[in-house]
Structure 1
């Protein structure tokens, strides 16, 4: 280093020593690596204005993770860096105005930290020396900025740490209210609020948003299913308790046949305790619970039926006995077809069925990636029923036409 450069830095340090409270002194030889007209970029922890270079150095020593400083002699702006000059990539080393100086903290005496020397404060806190050494929260880390669902961050965050009280704005996605925010609190954590729905999540909320809404198909988002968008039919909208249904696009059909073939000895009419149990049903809509998407199997509001048909998703007959749960040679006649294509939903892959009744057996097959389920079950009399509630889950691969339901905003 040239003598004129050393003289410049010595003058800077001596001037600041005279200005700083406590007359903080240092040996110029200990900062021989002070660089003029150089600044590290994109590695700043945070910045603030101080009374001099020595104070900036002290702040770095009191801050965990601080490896170097940028200091503007003209403005007093101190930048604490998470990397040293020696460790920085060439792209992070920038030429700057002559009023800037850069220095790695390892070149400074640790005694400048006073009682906080060798402190172990966390990354988003700093050590303070008065009245006794302690760690005080200084901000929230950029690495901890929350990813709020259904939003885009609309605030530029340049530093690795944001001061307590910093507020970040987020723009909410379609179907949510315009914006939300996250704030750095006094504990050093980001607190935030989720975007609020601007579309209905039930038929009751459709009615609340638009009191004159009539029965029909509406687009909704379901909070219990990660705000999945679905088409739901609202029924009884003129009452105080509207109900939700899923409109079926294809045949959903069940039959309990009026024939028997005991021991596969030949078909005949139902007799004895099997009489009056036969029936057939075609479903156009199924009632669902939007909190769980459980199908209400007993609801036949939108079903055409005759006799005593099976419940939705179950199959039974009084055709013949089956031994050891193996379908006999003359087969089963109880049938039910679940077809959920073009609804946006599918029966949960975890759904199970169980045999019930006398000498029952079941044969269950899946088609069209599970959107169609064929139940072939029977006994004498017997069949199969869902084990527990019959639950639906979103079918992301299914495409439901946007024009097939009405969109409503609740603002």
Structure 2
């Protein structure tokens, strides 16, 4: 008997549900604002289960962004759209069973309650506090501000959800600083593409970085990565250097001209070796000065220069002042059109990485001159045959 009663109750429930759905479906046909069996594609921004058509209308009216809605007559799902029928493509309005569609502007503009005449923006929703008061609550951010030297990844939408983030590709020579996130007040968090060209830029990019090797993308190297040693990162004026792996020296001689003595007189003699050379990323050059990473015996000799005070004829068979520049392993080469003063004999390796010079100048400097040498700087070019080892230096990551 219990089973029979249970079956009867189950059949009665099915009948009542069926009757209710039939009543709901038939009642919605009485609304002239609705387009029956219709659904708008590619415009939805919010789904909510309202259970009834009029609740869907009221919910849509809470959002100034809501221009139309799709309503599922069976499930009571309310799908809010940010486009009207006229703002959409004709192909976006399709036929789907049990759905109705309507633009919101064909309904009464005033809804019951405190939100009946709200002036909330499209990034806000009206929320009722009680029967007579309401407030506009931010639920979206608008388009994020443009970023100098940055290009957004993906579509630049008109609206973004709270806590949603936007990613950017920064131009070569610039690194991301911060994160662009839609905040709860509708504003965007700070994000910039920070210039990282010099070691001073690196310090501004990330104050945690200490002295060491870093990869910088250099404009005059066609934005190839160049490994730069940053020195003095704990100071207010960090400096940029290139670490040298080959033999780099400046050998100065100052001997008795007449006797061609091999002993030094003590005025200009000196032998200087360089483990690093100062680097200017702006004009892509070595600076001949600087002794922070130089080891000197006697008088300091500038990078890529030498001097010899012995007579060039009577002492031709004797040792001369000399220098060597070896950029092997750095990815850089001194430009092949760089010249030295006439008293200098210069030879270059076949790959251009090694330059050796000797001097017979009668106490005059043998030094770079002319094209490729400006304001004491050796012009460089990128060695296209160089294969960098990415593990030997740090790729900068900026932090606030």
Calculate the TM-score normalised by the size of structure 2: 0.48
Who wins on radius of gyration, i.e. which is larger?
2
